[in-house]
Structure 1
């Protein structure tokens, strides 16, 4: 399983460490601020897809030559002073698009932190599926700057950092299906800030809510027990996330994210109930179903089933249970 997950975390002791600010891409850097540079740099690689999160304490100039054929989408996580990329003045949680084979120029006037994901332009249609404006590769061929919504932007950036922290602690790797789920979860954090800055798109045909839900449930049935991300459903069914949300609200009174979380909780319950204690752990099963905050997962689980996940796992050792 380890072939699907690469983890690399290090402390920075000098600006030279930022040459690898984005995993797989060389960046020319020059220190602008005075003092010894300190910081951290972490990379997560899932196949050809990567997420990098870095932080540093002094001003920095960054330049990237036009030799990288991958799409880079970045987010500003923290900034003590002004940050500018090309002619864009960045605010917290703003998203920056660096298309393939385009030179990039950035200036950080003080200590900052950033996140950047890098992947092949050919993956756009799948990872951004359902959102017509974002699943078109032409959307990402020009440099871009998306202003984040203050509320959703801060939540998205915190979630991105938590995902990085969680995956960094699971160096044993991921299954192919779980790897795809985590890629979509990472992309979604930045996509939220992109969508919030776009004008509403209410055009298009809205299919019958129940007919759409039936198609979703057929897709989930074929997927089996693996975790399925909302963006995967949108791509597979060629439907926008907004349309999907309206359908789930009409039929179930809750959004697709909550519905899929309930489904994953039920899958975990069944796996734990059918497992012999000692053969697996709650944490391992939770991660394979896309939960990266065990405390919050435990709350969801207890609220839904009225018992702790460890109690469900222990059920298999009860002498009164016929297996």
Structure 2
């Protein structure tokens, strides 16, 4: 896997491996992760849910550089995850995926080594990232982003633009990584040659030049893109609906999903296979397993049991539940709970 541009930063680590470095008002967070839910919690500026959908014992890393007007994030994990939410009404992001990206997808678009994604404010976030891929994104105030983009290319960015996710083809990612890596080597050595404002401008200028030289990426007919976009929205709709379900008393099945979305089971099957490579039933099971894991990792009381958590999410056959849980997360549910209770 391609190494993070931040990997060269020597940091003051704690016993847990986490670190927080502040230099000239610039905040840099470096967090090891043990669960997909921790990956979601780290991104506290946007309400997002991340579920593990690929098998294995999860291990991840989250790095965040906070500048006066930009937040840069690099996240990676060793298991395939499904990330979804809605962008804040104030912020937009520019992002790309690197490493082995065959399983990476951003909404209706499959990731590539040339793809740069603009996710406007208020847009649905639906991302699937494989085990050997790394996500890099830059968060801007949307008004500030548009002002900067108009300076570089006023014809493209003047006025309002499509509120849907936009995908561009660019050749500038390697140069951007190299420039940021050079800047961060000085920063991590305690000798930043730029102030926070200067570093922000440096990164912004690099991003805008890369965006200016890019072209809208549309290698597929509009009808195909539109079909994929509808599938992405449908999967997001189902995910949001499931998130609203509090417990087993209203844990939905396929009929409930068809009723909620207003589509047939066949359409539901197609959309989930196209977006996640999973059937709706498999997705439902994985969703419920992730919810049980959340309960076991954060027990509400010291006497909570695996059986209690499993049955809350409609796992009635406990032997089969334990096998499915271990197959997905790489450990038994009893070990998860034991570790949580210390």
Give TM-score, length-normalised by structure 1: 0.52
Q: Shift of residue 184 of structure 1?
A: 2.4
Cα distance in 2, alignment partners of residues 123 and 39 from structure 1: 31
Cα distance in 2, alignment partners of residues 166 and 158 from structure 1: 13
Paired residues of 2:101 and 2:111 also in contact (CA < 8 A) = no
Q: Shift of residue 85 of structure 1?
A: 0.9
Cα distance in 2, alignment partners of residues 160 and 140 from structure 1: 29
Task: Tell me what 2:168 maps to.
Answer: 146
Task: Tell me what 1:156 maps to.
Answer: 176
Decide whether aligned partners of structure 1 residues 23 and 96 sit closer, same or farther in structure 2, where only a CA change above 3 A counts: farther
SS of equivalent to 2:123: coil
Match of 1:65 among 86, 96, 99: 86
Q: Shift of residue 39 of structure 1?
A: 2.3
| 1:78 correspondence with 2:95 | no
Cα distance in 1, alignment partners of residues 193 and 152 from structure 2: 25
Cα distance in 1, alignment partners of residues 30 and 112 from structure 2: 26
Cα distance in 2, alignment partners of residues 37 and 120 from structure 1: 32
Q: Which runs of 5+ in 1 are unaligned?
A: 200-323
Decide whether aligned partners of structure 1 residues 34 and 72 sit closer, same or farther in structure 2, where only a CA change above 3 A counts: same
Instruction: Report the RMSD for the aligned CA atoms in angstroms.
Output: 3.0
Q: Deviations over 1:42-94 (max 9, x none)?
A: 11111242111111111110001254521111121223532111111110252
Task: Tell me what 1:30 maps to.
Answer: 51
Paired residues of 1:76 and 1:93 also in contact (CA < 8 A) = no
SS of equivalent to 2:160: helix
Cα distance in 1, alignment partners of residues 44 and 202 from structure 2: 18
Structure 1 segments (4+ residues) deviating >6 Å: 172-175
| 1:6 correspondence with 2:6 | no
Q: Which runs of 5+ in 2 are unaligned?
A: 1-21, 217-342
Task: Tell me what 1:132 maps to.
Answer: 154
Query: Which segment is superposed worse, 106-115 or 187-196?
Result: 187-196
Task: Tell me what 2:204 maps to.
Answer: 187
Give TM-score, length-normalised by structure 2: 0.49
Q: Shift of residue 19 of structure 1?
A: 0.5
Cα distance in 2, alignment partners of residues 188 and 13 from structure 1: 35
Q: How many residues align?
A: 194
Decide whether aligned partners of structure 1 residues 57 and 20 sit closer, same or farther in structure 2, where only a CA change above 3 A counts: same
Paired residues of 1:75 and 1:96 also in contact (CA < 8 A) = yes
